[in-house]
């Protein structure tokens, strides 16, 4: 591979953000556009038509581009709200297992808050809630790594950024553990 | 050459800003040769044009239109640029910001020879505008579009007069002989000039043509008397008088270019805080440099006030109406708030004593240049309850309760000293947690300091805390540009050792080549352009603005102390030929500021003089001519300022015409190096003669 050593074991957060940008979000367009075909990994690669003020589902990258040119307003997904996140946070801190969150919530939340923080209500509160969630889950995933054994590591409801964070470690760790396990049985 | 009415005056048959803008987009998308040079924006080097350029660039970027911004410093530069532009095949839109209104752009000298698909948009706040630009129609005329602010509606008489004179079918010979006269005048001037120096007479051709109209046509009338004219002679004369009055009453300023751009953005429904802030900066610049009167300022201010509240709704419990009380509500708070601002210069960024000392209004009223005046200032501060250590603290370190009381105390105590009307409504912007809120006037000061002196001259700025023998026995440091300068920030030099070698200097002033001279101000332009959107260089530029002001005060007080002001019959003259800051004042922008400071400072002490306009009557005003020697090129930079008698009022600047007239009469070798006709660069030997001729010219009016 042509990638430098440090990047071969996992994906960078920016790349994850790019992948997450394929996710569809709702926008309220301010301009009119016909149904146009774009390059997309989805089979249904044509988006639109945009007819203000009707809402439309477009990929996040397109929504970002339009928003930066002030041609749409992004409607935040329903999980990006104070109530939802607050409720998940209390669940997170009260139970030992991970609570269920959208798989790519971190990337999508970051993009939307960067670009369209005026479209999100209570953006500051949401940012602080997201930060709290991350810290709570990080603590849990650190504990969970202690349960690492050679055959499986089960951390249900872990999200893509968090998986990416621990992936380099547990791939190597599992490899070594597998070797260690194999050695005694070989005797 | 049509003029665009502003949107509120537009109708279906009269396209307004939005249509012109849409045409730019259409031309861009349809032309097969579209490249980055298809849309070119020429920008004059002042803060208003800079803000307008930024707004326009933002709008174009949102529409995916590739464009280029090119700074142009003066008429000579514009001619050079025109020759270069003639070689671009893919150019289809040219936008001139704060330049070109007075030029007859469809003539062969300018853009008349360019291809037919070129459209030229002129967004200029300078008045008077060339009437040909506004009213000429026809296929050639349609290419030049002047974006008007509604004033043209009131120019119906001038329009009729101009049309009558231009389209009058009979006197073809009349116009030819007038043109011949123009050419002969021009060739006469050409003989007198010293071509080796590269100087040439570059007065705005539109103005001279109109002057030629006024003077010479009278004689023509008598010669062609016997030919029957459709218009009677009296009618012609009245038309001529009207047009001469329009051109001859001096120069003034209309709506700022950034306001025009903001209106465009409003029509396109794409306004946001950034664009609003830029428009506010353009307006404040016009007000603080005495280009518009207080009434005009208030009018635009109320418009922006509504906009601020529309775009930045404050939560109901925050009722901040003084800039002191504004704080950023969150780290990402970039909102604009309305605030009352004090007339002190940059007062939130240095000590209170300094701010009052350096503001021209206070200086004038209290007489700061004398020791007695300084004592009065400390007396005033003491009466307000500010102890001397407090006033010597940088503003940010002053006691909080003193800050809050400042305005109230000023309102109650300052009138005793004759300082009334110390506050005026203005705006401030929060920058989250990265910097304290910045007032509009301070931002304008910082940006214009960058434009004038960011590079090209050694400027020393003060380090905070280094006064009165601070840590390292006082000291300043050489100013380096914004973010780049942060790496070099640790260097401190002693005050005495100005002989520091130039290897850490980014300035290009040391050698005298003209190419280097051109590039330093281009660098300044871009430094100022970047600072408009980035708070870090803007904040750093504040210290540069402060040292600039200190230099102006030093020079101004020494002028007044030495009583260097010579009073001529119709105006006052100051000539600077020596002093520590001479190189600094060789820049026209800085010199103009010095002139404004002098006008403000001496407003109450000098009686106004009547300087009559072409019509023979005039209002009282304070005409000032300031000249400074540029040692490097052995020329004098001369700036003429028409101060008004009342603070907050403006007068039309008649020095432009006076300079041109005097120049013609005494055949001085000179040139106009900027777009402003009241700024002149003249050979050292010719200065005396020129000043004497100027007096005669003043009387002639």
Give the pLDDT confidence score for residue B316 in this predicted structure: 55
Instruction: Please tell me which residue, B316 or B188, carries the higher pLDDT value.
Output: B316
Q: Using one digit for the tens of pLDDT, what is the confidence trace for B585-627?
A: 888 888 888 888 888 888 777 666 665 443 344 567 778 888 8
- Whether residues B62 and A69 touch (CB distance < 8 A) is answered with yes
The DSSP secondary-structure symbol of B195 reads: G
Given CB atoms, is A71 within the 8 Å cutoff of chain B? yes
Q: Which of B465, B475, B345 is CA-nearest to residue B393?
A: B465
Give the pLDDT confidence score for residue B516 in this predicted structure: 63
Residue appearing with tokens 């440091």: B477
Q: Alpha-carbon distance B622 to B601, whole Å?
A: 12
| Residues of chain B neighbouring A117 (CB-CB closer than 8 A) | 332
Least confident of A42-56, B184-198, B226-240, B397-411: B184-198
**Strand positions, DSSP E, B314-445:** 336-342, 423-429, 438-439
- Confidence band of B505 (pLDDT split at 50, 70, 90): very low
Q: Using one digit for the tens of pLDDT, what is the confidence trace for B68-109?
A: 999 998 888 888 888 888 888 788 889 999 988 888 777 767
Q: Which of B582, B633, B676 is CA-nearest to residue B199?
A: B633
Pick left, alpha or beta for residue B361 (phi over 0 → left; psi -120 to 50 → alpha; otherwise beta): alpha
Q: Does B58 have pLDDT greater than 90?
A: yes
Residue pair B289/B302 in contact (Cβ under 8 Å)? The answer is no
Give the pLDDT confidence score for residue B70 in this predicted structure: 92
- Confidence band of B324 (pLDDT split at 50, 70, 90): low
Most B CBs within 10 Å, among A31, A32, A68, A69, to test the B interface: A69
Residue pair B406/B503 in contact (Cβ under 8 Å)? The answer is no
Helix (H), strand (E) at residue B58: helix B47-62
Q: Alpha-carbon distance B548 to B445, whole Å?
A: 10
Rounded to an integer, the average pLDDT of B468-490 is 46
Q: Alpha-carbon distance B538 to B401, whole Å?
A: 28
Q: Using one digit for the tens of pLDDT, what is the confidence trace for B656-684?
A: 888 888 888 888 788 887 888 888 888 88
| Residues of chain A neighbouring B270 (CB-CB closer than 8 A) | 70
Q: Which of B533, B535, B522, B510 is CA-nearest to residue B454?
A: B522
Q: Which of B254, B241, B298, B264 is CA-nearest to residue B150?
A: B254
Q: Does B203 have pLDDT greater than 50?
A: no
- Whether residues A70 and B62 touch (CB distance < 8 A) is answered with yes
Beta bridge partners of B426: B339
| Residues of chain A neighbouring B64 (CB-CB closer than 8 A) | 69
Instruction: Please tell me which residue, B643 or B455, carries the higher pLDDT value.
Output: B643
Give the pLDDT confidence score for residue A43 in this predicted structure: 64
Given CB atoms, is A131 within the 8 Å cutoff of chain B? no
- Whether residues B64 and A71 touch (CB distance < 8 A) is answered with no
Which residues have CB under 8 Å from B278's CB, separation 6+? Answer: B51, B52, B54, B55, B258, B262, B532
Helices (H), B69-137: 75-85, 131-135
Q: Using one digit for the tens of pLDDT, what is the confidence trace for B516-527?
A: 666 788 888 998
Q: Using one digit for the tens of pLDDT, what is the confidence trace for A26-37?
A: 999 888 887 777
Cβ-based burial of B208 (10 A; exposed 0-12, middle 13-18, buried ≥19):
buried
Question: Between A and B, how many residue pairs show a Cβ–Cβ distance under 8 A?
Answer: 14
Which residues have CB under 8 Å from A85's CB, separation 6+? Answer: A79, A126, A129, A130, A133
- Whether residues B63 and A70 touch (CB distance < 8 A) is answered with no
Most B CBs within 10 Å, among A52, A70, A112, A126, to test the B interface: A70
Report residue B246 as tokens: 């329009």
The DSSP secondary-structure symbol of B493 reads: B
- Whether residues B270 and A70 touch (CB distance < 8 A) is answered with yes
CA B346 to chain centre: 19
By C-alpha distance, the chain A residue nearest B333 is A124
Instruction: Please tell me which residue, B82 or B313, carries the higher pLDDT value.
Output: B82
Percent of chain B with pLDDT over 70: 74
- Whether residues A30 and B269 touch (CB distance < 8 A) is answered with yes
Q: Alpha-carbon distance B39 to B91, whole Å?
A: 6
By C-alpha distance, the chain B residue nearest A65 is B62
N-to-C CA span, chain A: 37
Q: Which of B447, B451, B126 is CA-nearest to residue B285?
A: B447
Label each residue of B256-308 as H, E or C: CHHHHHHHHHHHCCCCCHHHHHHHHHHHHHHHHCCCCCHHHHHHHHHHHHHHH
- Whether residues B64 and A30 touch (CB distance < 8 A) is answered with no
Q: Alpha-carbon distance B143 to A91, whole Å?
A: 68
CA angle (A90, A91, A94) in 5-degree steps: 85
Given CB atoms, is B332 within the 8 Å cutoff of chain A? yes
Residue pair A107/A17 in contact (Cβ under 8 Å)? The answer is yes
A46 vs chain B: nearest CA distance in angstroms?
Answer: 21
Report residue B522 as tokens: 């281009």
By C-alpha distance, the chain A residue nearest B334 is A118
Q: Using one digit for the tens of pLDDT, what is the confidence trace for B617-637?
A: 456 777 888 888 888 888 888
Instruction: Please tell me which residue, B283 or B477, carries the higher pLDDT value.
Output: B283
Q: Does B54 have pLDDT greater than 90?
A: yes
Least confident of A103-107, A129-133, B165-169: B165-169
Given CB atoms, is A124 within the 8 Å cutoff of chain B? yes
Give the pLDDT confidence score for residue B12 in this predicted structure: 54
3 state SS of B498? coil
Task: Count the neighbouring beta carbons within 10 Å of the beta carbon of residue B163.
Answer: 15
The model's pTM is 0.81
Q: Alpha-carbon distance B616 to B612, whole Å?
A: 5
Half-sphere exposure of A59 (CA within 13 A, CB side): 20
Radius of gyration of chain B (CA): 26
Most A CBs within 10 Å, among B270, B328, B329, B335, to test the A interface: B270
To the nearest 10 degrees (0 to 180), the angle between helices A82-94 and A123-144 is 20
Give the pLDDT confidence score for residue A84 in this predicted structure: 92
Kindly give the pairing relationship between strand A56-59 and strand B119-123.
unpaired
The DSSP secondary-structure symbol of A22 reads: T
Say what the ipTM of the complex is. 0.76
**Which residues 262-291 of chain B have a CB within 8 Å of chain A?**
269-270, 272
Which residues have CB under 8 Å from B212's CB, separation 6+? Answer: B178, B181, B182, B185
Which residues have CB under 8 Å from B547's CB, separation 6+? Answer: B459, B460, B461, B462, B476, B479
Q: Which of B614, B570, B674, B681 is CA-nearest to residue B210?
A: B614
Q: Alpha-carbon distance B679 to B202, whole Å?
A: 12
**Identity of the residue in B63, B64, B332 whose CB atom sits nearest the CB atom of A117:** B332
Given CB atoms, is A28 within the 8 Å cutoff of chain B? no
Given CB atoms, is A87 within the 8 Å cutoff of chain B? no
**Strand positions, DSSP E, chain A:** 24-29, 36-37, 46-47, 56-59, 72-75
Report residue B133 as tokens: 């630009």
- Whether residues A69 and B330 touch (CB distance < 8 A) is answered with no
Report residue B448 as tokens: 């214009």
Give the pLDDT confidence score for residue B470 in this predicted structure: 45
Rounded to an integer, the average pLDDT of B45-61 is 93
Instruction: Please tell me which residue, B389 or B55, carries the higher pLDDT value.
Output: B55
A41 vs chain B: nearest CA distance in angstroms?
Answer: 25
- Confidence band of A132 (pLDDT split at 50, 70, 90): very high
- Whether residues B62 and A30 touch (CB distance < 8 A) is answered with no
Q: Alpha-carbon distance A28 to A32, whole Å?
A: 11
Longest dimension (CA), chain B: 87
- Whether residues B62 and A124 touch (CB distance < 8 A) is answered with no
Residue appearing with tokens 């001038």: B158
Q: Alpha-carbon distance A107 to A22, whole Å?
A: 11
Residue appearing with tokens 């402060």: B546
Give the pLDDT confidence score for residue B85 in this predicted structure: 87
Helix (H), strand (E) at residue B17: helix B17-30
Kindly give the pairing relationship between strand B2-4 and strand B144-147.
parallel
Task: Count the neighbouring beta carbons within 10 Å of the beta carbon of residue A16.
Answer: 18
Given CB atoms, is A153 within the 8 Å cutoff of chain B? no
Length of chain A: 187
Report residue B123 as tokens: 């967004």
- Whether residues A69 and B269 touch (CB distance < 8 A) is answered with no
Go through the domains of chain A in sequence order and give each one's CATH number.
Answer: 24-75 (3.40.5.50), 77-143+150-180 (1.20.58.1020)
Rounded to an integer, the average pLDDT of B62-71 is 90
3 state SS of B428? strand
Q: Alpha-carbon distance A49 to A69, whole Å?
A: 18
CA angle (A22, A27, A29) in 5-degree steps: 120
- Whether residues B64 and A70 touch (CB distance < 8 A) is answered with no
Give the pLDDT confidence score for residue B642 in this predicted structure: 84
Report residue B559 as tokens: 């002028």
Give the pLDDT confidence score for residue B139 in this predicted structure: 65
Give the pLDDT confidence score for residue B199 in this predicted structure: 32
* Mean pLDDT for all residues in chain B: 74
């Amino acid at each position: 591979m042509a990638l430098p050593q440090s990047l071969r074991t996992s994906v960078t957060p920016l790349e994850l953000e790019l992948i997450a940008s394929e996710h569809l979000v709702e926008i309220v367009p301010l301009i009119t556009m016909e149904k146009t075909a774009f390059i997309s990994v989805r089979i249904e690669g044509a988006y639109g038509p945009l007819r203000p003020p009707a809402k439309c589902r477009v990929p996040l990258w397109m929504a970002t581009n339009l928003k930066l040119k002030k041609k749409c307003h992004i409607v935040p997904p329903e999980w990006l709200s104070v109530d939802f996140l607050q409720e998940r946070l209390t669940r997170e801190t009260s139970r030992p297992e991970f609570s269920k969150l959208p798989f790519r919530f971190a990337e999508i939340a970051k993009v939307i808050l960067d670009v369209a923080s005026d479209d999100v209500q209570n953006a500051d509160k949401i940012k602080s809630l997201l930060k709290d969630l991350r810290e709570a889950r990080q603590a849990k995933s650190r504990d969970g790594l202690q349960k690492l054994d050679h055959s499986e590591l089960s951390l249900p409801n872990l999200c893509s950024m968090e998986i990416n964070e621990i992936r380099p470690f547990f791939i190597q760790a599992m490899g070594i553990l597998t070797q260690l396990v194999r050695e005694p049985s070989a005797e | 050459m049509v003029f665009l009415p502003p949107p509120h005056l537009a109708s279906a048959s009269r396209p307004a800003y939005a249509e012109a803008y849409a045409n730019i987009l259409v031309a861009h998308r349809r032309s097969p040769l579209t490249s980055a040079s298809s849309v070119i924006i020429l920008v004059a080097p002042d803060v208003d044009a800079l803000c307008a350029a930024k707004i326009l660039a933002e709008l174009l970027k949102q529409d995916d239109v590739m464009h280029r911004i090119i700074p142009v410093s003066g008429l000579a530069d514009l001619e050079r640029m025109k020759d270069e532009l003639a070689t671009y095949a893919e150019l289809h839109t040219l936008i001139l910001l704060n330049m070109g209104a007075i030029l007859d752009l469809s003539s062969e000298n300018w853009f008349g020879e360019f291809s037919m698909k070129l459209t030229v948009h002129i967004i200029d706040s300078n008045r008077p505008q060339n009437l040909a630009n506004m009213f000429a129609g026809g296929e050639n005329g349609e290419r030049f579009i002047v974006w008007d602010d509604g004033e043209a509606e009131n120019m119906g008489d001038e329009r009729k007069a101009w049309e009558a004179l231009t389209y009058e079918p009979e006197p073809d010979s009349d116009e030819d002989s007038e043109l011949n006269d123009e050419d002969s005048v021009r060739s006469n001037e050409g003989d007198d000039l010293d071509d080796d120096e590269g100087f040439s007479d570059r007065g705005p051709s539109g103005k001279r043509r109109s002057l030629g109209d006024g003077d010479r046509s009278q004689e023509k009338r008598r010669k062609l008397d016997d030919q029957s004219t459709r218009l009677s002679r009296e009618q012609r004369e009245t038309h001529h008088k009207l047009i001469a009055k329009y051109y001859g009453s001096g120069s003034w300023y209309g709506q700022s270019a950034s306001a025009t751009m903001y209106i465009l953005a409003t029509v396109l429904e794409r306004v946001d805080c950034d664009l609003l802030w830029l428009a506010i900066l353009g307006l404040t610049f016009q007000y603080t440099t005495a280009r518009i009167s207080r009434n005009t300022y208030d009018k635009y201010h109320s418009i922006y006030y509504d906009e601020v509240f529309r775009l930045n709704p404050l939560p109901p419990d925050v009722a901040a109406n003084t800039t002191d009380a504004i704080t950023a509500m969150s780290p990402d708070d970039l909102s604009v708030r309305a605030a009352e601002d004090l007339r002190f210069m940059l007062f939130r960024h240095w000590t209170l004593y300094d701010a009052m000392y350096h503001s021209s209004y206070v200086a004038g009223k209290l007489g700061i240049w004398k020791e007695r005046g300084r004592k009065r200032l400390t007396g005033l501060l003491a009466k307000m309850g500010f102890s001397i250590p407090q006033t010597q603290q940088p503003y940010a370190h002053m006691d909080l309760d003193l800050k809050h009381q400042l305005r109230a105390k000023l309102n109650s105590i300052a009138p005793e000293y004759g300082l009334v009307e110390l506050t005026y409504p203005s705006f401030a912007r929060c920058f989250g947690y990265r910097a304290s809120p910045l007032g509009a006037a301070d931002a304008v000061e910082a940006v214009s300091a960058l434009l004038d002196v960011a590079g090209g001259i050694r400027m020393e700025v003060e380090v905070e805390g280094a006064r009165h023998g601070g840590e390292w026995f006082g000291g300043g440091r050489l100013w380096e540009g914004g973010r780049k300068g942060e790496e070099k920030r640790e260097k401190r030099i002693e005050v005495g050792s100005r002989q520091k070698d130039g290897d850490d200097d980014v300035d290009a002033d040391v050698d005298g080549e003209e190419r280097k001279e051109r590039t330093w101000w281009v660098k300044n332009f871009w430094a100022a352009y970047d600072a408009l959107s980035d708070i870090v260089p803007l904040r750093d530029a504040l210290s540069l603005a402060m040292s600039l002001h200190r230099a102006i005060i030093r020079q101004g007080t020494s002028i007044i102390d030495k009583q260097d002001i010579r009073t001529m019959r119709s105006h006052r003259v100051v000539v600077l030929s020596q002093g520590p800051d001479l190189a600094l004042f060789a820049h026209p922008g800085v010199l103009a500021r010095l002139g404004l400071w002098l006008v403000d400072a001496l407003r109450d002490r000098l009686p106004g003089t009547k300087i009559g306009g072409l019509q023979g009557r005039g209002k009282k005003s304070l005409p000032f001519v300031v000249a400074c020697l540029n040692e490097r090129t052995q020329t004098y930079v001369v700036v003429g300022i028409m101060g008004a008698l009342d603070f907050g009022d403006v007068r039309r600047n008649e020095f432009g015409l006076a300079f041109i007239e005097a120049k013609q009469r005494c055949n001085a070798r000179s040139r106009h190096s900027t777009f402003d006709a009241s700024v002149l660069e003249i050979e050292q030997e010719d200065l005396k003669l020129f000043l004497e001729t100027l007096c005669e010219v003043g009387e002639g009016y």
